[in-house]
A = this chain, B = another copy of it.
Amino acid sequence: MAYQESLSALADPTRRQIFEAIADAPRPVGELAQSMPVSRPAVSQHLKVLSDAGLVMCRVDGARRIYAVRPEGLAQLRMWLDRHWANVMDRFAEEINGKEGLDD
């Protein structure tokens, strides 16, 4: 739900791989596990973490669960990034402009 959990969730390489596969196209768990170097339960556990972070959601299709990226989750991350991006660019501009003290 918060960008913090999203960052933690995306920190793990396997989980990032899963996320990117899902972002490319929604997929069922089994298909994900096949294209991954870890077991299916591991994939399930990763999906739970991604889900708790609000980054993915799943649609039930019979016995299958099709996982897809949740746009709002990504949006949270984007907002966080853009917020700091703005800050950093301000500092950067100050450096270039000689950074005269306008604190007085």
Residues of chain A at the chain B interface (Cβ within 8 Å): 4, 7-8, 10-11, 13, 16, 19-20, 23-26, 68-69, 71, 74, 77-78, 81-82, 84-85, 87-89, 91-92
Contacts and interface: CB of A to CB of B under 8 A. Distances in A.
B26 A91 contact: yes
Contacts of A89: 71
Given A10-B7, A11-B8, A85 B78 contact: yes
Tell me whether chain A's interface is mostly helix, strand or loop, or mixed.
helix
A16 B7 contact: yes
A44 B81 CA distance: 23
A29 to B, nearest CB: 18
A80 to B, nearest CB: 9
A84 B7 CA distance: 15
